[in-house]
Amino acid sequence: MFTAINPTNGKLIRSLPFDDDATIIDKISLAQTAFHAWRKIPLKERSGLLSEAGKILLSEKEDYARLITEEMGKPIGQGRAEIEKCAWVCKYYAENAEAFLEPKMVKTDAGKSYISYEPEGVLLAVMPWNFPFWQVFRFAAPNITAGNTILLKHAPNVPGCCVAIDDIFFKAGFPEDVLAPLYAPVDRMELIISNPIVRGVTLTGSTDAGRSIAALSGRYLKKSVLELGGSDPFIVLDDADIALAAEACAKSKLNNAGQSCIGAKRIIVLEKVYDEFLKHFVPIFSNATQGDPLAENTTIGPMARLDLRDTLHQQIESSIINGAKCLCGGQIPDKAGAWYPPTVLTDVTVGQAAYEEELFGPVTSIIKVKDQEEAIAVANDTSYGLGAAIFTSDIKKGERIAREELDAGACFVNEFVKSDPRLPFGGVKTSGYGRELSVEGMTEFMNVKTVWVK
C-alpha cells in the first residue's frame, strides 16, 4: 500500500493500493500510445500547457503546501516556497524550450547537416518524498515539454501528493497518460524497466536505491539519470564573515528538517575561527523553532517517518560512542510523531558515522582543521559529490577552490548550495550521474540525432 502517516502525530491519513502487474503493464502501454500523439503536438502548444500548469500551482498554492506538510511534515512556509519553485521551473521551460531544442546547424561536406533533438519516448521517474512536488516538476517540466511521456512512481508515503500532481496536469489540459502515476512496489521495478516500451529511467533517492536502479538499467540497456545522496562539505576559511557563514550553514541544514541531499552535513572550520564559529552557529541551531509545521513561526517540523528518525539516532549514538561530542540535541523526545531536535556534533573524525555517512535529518557535524589545505582534503574525503560550499572574503580564491579543487557537482561561494532551474544540477561519485535543470536537463532524455542531407 501507498500509505501516508502524519509525521506530526503518527496518525493514518490515507492509503492507496498497489497496482497489480496487469495494471502496470496496461499503464505502460497507454503511456506509449500517448507518446505517439503527444510528440506530434507543436512545441509551442506543449509549452503553453506547461505554462498553464505553473499558473494552477500558484492559484492553489495553499492547498498543495498543506498537503506537503500533512504527508511529510515540512513547515507550511517551506511548502509554499516549494510550490512557488515548481511554478518557476514550469515558467522557465515554457519560455526556453524552443531555444533549447532548436536544431543546431553544423557545416560539413553535406549540402545540409545539423543536430536535431527528438524525444526518446516513455520514461520512468522514481521520485522521493523529501520534496514531493519539486523533485517531480524539475524532471517532468522539461521532459514532458520536450515530447516524452512519464510514468511517475512516487514515494509510498506521499500518495496524496502524487494524486495532486496528476490532477494538476489534467487541469492544465495535458492529454491523458502523458503523465501517468504508477502505484508500484519496489519489487516491480524490474517488470517496468525491462519493458521495451520504457526508454529511460531517472531516480532521485538514496545511493543504495541508485545502485539498484543503475543495475537494472544497465541490464536492460536503458539510459538512466541518478540524483543520489550527499555528505555536503561547507568550508569556513579564517578570512570568512563568520556570522554570515554560520547563518548560511544553519539555514541550509535546518531547511526541511535536514532532509535535503544538499544540506550542510559536514561543516569544516579552520581552527583559528573555530570557537567563534561555534558561538554563532550553535545558538542559531539549538534555538530554532520546532513545533507544529502548520504554524507560521515554525522553522523545523518533524522528520518524515519514524524509521528515518530512528536510523538517524542510531548514527548519532554510534558516532558519540566513537568519540564525537554532542553540543545540543541528540535525544528522541517523548511524544508521538517522528520528532528529532536540532543536533550539533563536534570532534567528528574518520571512522565515525557522522564523518563517513549521510546524516539525513536535523544534525550537522562540525570538523576542525588546521589550514586551507586540510579543509579541502577533508571536504573531498567522501564517497559523495553532490554539493559543496566555501566561505571566504577573498572571492577570487573562493571561486578558484570551488572550480578547481572541490569534487562535487555544484560548488557555491559564500552561499549555501541550492538548485536553480537556470543551472544544471547533479552529482559525481556515489552522488549519481547525469544532470537535471537548465538546457542539460532537457536534453538528457532526447535522441541527439545527426541529420545529413546531400
Sign of the alpha-carbon dihedral angle for 367, 370, 371, 374: negative
Mark whether 309 and 441 lie in a shared domain.
no
Mark whether 257 and 350 lie in a shared domain.
yes
Is residue 269 domain-resident? yes
Give the integer Cα–Cα distance in Å for 259 and 273: 28
Residue 375: which pLDDT band, with cuts at 50, 70 and 90?
very high
CA distances in angstroms from 341 to 171, 311, 323, 326, 411, listed in the order given:
40, 14, 20, 12, 28
User: Would you state the pLDDT for residue 73?
Assistant: 98
Residue 430: which pLDDT band, with cuts at 50, 70 and 90?
very high
Q: Check which CATH number belongs to the domain holding 296 and give it.
A: 3.40.309.10
User: Would you state the pLDDT for residue 432?
Assistant: 98
User: Would you state the pLDDT for residue 185?
Assistant: 94
pLDDT digits (tens, 9 = 90+) for 217-252: 999 999 999 999 999 999 999 999 999 999 999 999
User: Would you state the pLDDT for residue 226?
Assistant: 98
As a dihedral over the C-alpha atoms of residue 137, residue 140, residue 144, residue 148, rounded to 10 degrees, the angle is: 180
**How much is the mean pLDDT over the chain?**
97
User: Would you state the pLDDT for residue 30?
Assistant: 98
Burial class of 395 by CB neighbour count within 10 A (0 to 12, 13 to 18, 19+): exposed
Is residue 422 domain-resident? no
Mark whether 158 and 134 lie in a shared domain.
yes
Backbone angles phi, psi at 177, to 5 degrees: 75, 5
pLDDT digits (tens, 9 = 90+) for 386-409: 999 999 999 999 999 999 999 999
Percentage of residues of the chain with pLDDT beyond 70? 100
Give the integer Cα–Cα distance in Å for 57 and 80: 10
Q: Give the mean pLDDT of 117-144.
A: 98
Give the integer Cα–Cα distance in Å for 210 and 244: 35
Give the structural domain span for 320: 233-413
**CB-based burial, 195-211: b 16+ in 10 Å, e otherwise:** bebbbbbbbbbebebbe
Which residues carry out catalysis?
227, 261
Sheet holding 112-119, edge to edge: 104-105, 112-119, 446-453
Mark whether 61 and 193 lie in a shared domain.
yes
Mark whether 293 and 182 lie in a shared domain.
no
Cell 511529510 found at: 72
Burial class of 240 by CB neighbour count within 10 A (0 to 12, 13 to 18, 19+): buried
pLDDT digits (tens, 9 = 90+) for 27-53: 999 999 999 999 999 999 999 999 999
User: Would you state the pLDDT for residue 99?
Assistant: 98
Question: Of 50, 37, 163, 53, nearest to 98 (Cα)?
Answer: 50
Residue 139: which pLDDT band, with cuts at 50, 70 and 90?
very high
Apex CA 19: angle with CA 13 and CA 21, to 5°? 160
Mark whether 310 and 249 lie in a shared domain.
yes
